[in-house]
Amino acid sequence: MRLFNSLAVFGVLIASQAASFTTMQTDIHAPGPNGLLSGTILTPNPAKGPVVLIVPGSGPIDRDGNAGSSVRASTYRLLGEGLAAHGIASVRIDKRGLYGSRAAVEDPNAVTIDDYADDVKALVSVIPRQAAARCVWVLGHSEGGLVALAAAQTASDHCGVILVSTAGRPLGAVLCEQLRRTLRTRQFLMSRSQPLLASKLVNT
């Protein structure tokens, strides 16, 4: 199994000139704990490469890379379209308990990295049949990279793993650092805002 920890491989693909192509977009499903896991498979014509499963990062992110009205970048959809322009099929998924996969579990917050890894393995088992691919590259973004690595520990049917903005250190250390930064920022803002809050400007 091969491992990439960079966007460079995709930057080269998408920055180069794309050939003329058409695409077909269909739904794809895999078994989840209580119901189906759902996603979208984007297949180019002609297809000339493997299929890439895009595993989303943390939070209530949908298969396109959006989160309600707060995040509307469509990152994963654009990535899939960029891959399709170079003959590479892709699968974008909704995480268990959310959006199209909401029936998979009752509580989308009561999940672990290992739970998501099980979902990846379930999807990888059904993707080759629908995409007519020999095996699947698993691309994990942010937290999704940790999921991809966990799934790869016990899987033999992956082409490889691609990590995009995934922590290169233990997750506990990363979380502690983020929390420390948040607390320092909050303390700084509170100390700077106290004179303003006590002034006549906001008390008249």
For range 79-98, the mean pLDDT: 95
Give the other-Cβ count within 10 Å of 6's Cβ.
11
**Torsion sign over Cα 93, 99, 101, 104:** positive
Between 17 and 149, whose confidence is greater?
Answer: 149
In this structure, are 21 and 99 located in the same domain? Answer: yes
User: How many angstroms separate the CA atoms of 158 and 21, rounded?
Assistant: 26
Provide, rounded to the nearest whole percent, the portion of the chain with pLDDT above 90: 59
Cis ω for the linkage preceding 195 (within 30 of 0): no
Are 140 and 187 part of one and the same domain? no
Number of folded domains that form the chain? 2
Looking at the fold, whether 154 and 187 belong to one and the same domain comes out as: no
Domain co-membership, 25 together with 59: yes
Q: Is the pLDDT of residue 40 over 60?
A: yes
- pLDDT value at residue 57: 95
Is the entire prediction scored with pTM above 0.85? no
Parallel/antiparallel/unpaired status of strands 136-141 and 51-55 = parallel
Whole-number Å distance between alpha carbons of 122 and 184: 42
Task: Write down the residue that tokens 């977009």 correspond to.
Answer: 25
Q: Distance from first CA to last CA of the chain, Å, rounded?
A: 67
Residues 163 and 175 in one domain: no
Higher model confidence: residue 8 or residue 95?
A: 95
**What does the alpha-carbon distance between residue 75 and residue 2 come to, in Å, rounded to a whole number?**
24
What is residue 15's predicted lDDT score, i.e. its pLDDT?
43
Q: Residue 35 sits in a domain of what CATH number?
A: 3.40.50.1820
Do residues 29 and 103 make contact, with C-beta atoms less than 8 angstroms apart?
no
Shared-domain flag, residues 201 and 149: no
What is the domain range of residue 187? 171-204
Do both 104 and 190 map to the same domain? no
What is the residue type of 35? G
- Do 117 and 203 reside in the same domain of the chain? no
Task: Answer yes or no: do 119 and 148 share one domain.
Answer: yes
- Judge if 87 and 123 occupy the same domain: yes
DSSP secondary structure string, 104-120? G-S-TTS--HHHHHHHH
The residue-averaged pLDDT of 9-17 equals: 48
DSSP lists the bridge partners of residue 137 as 52, 160
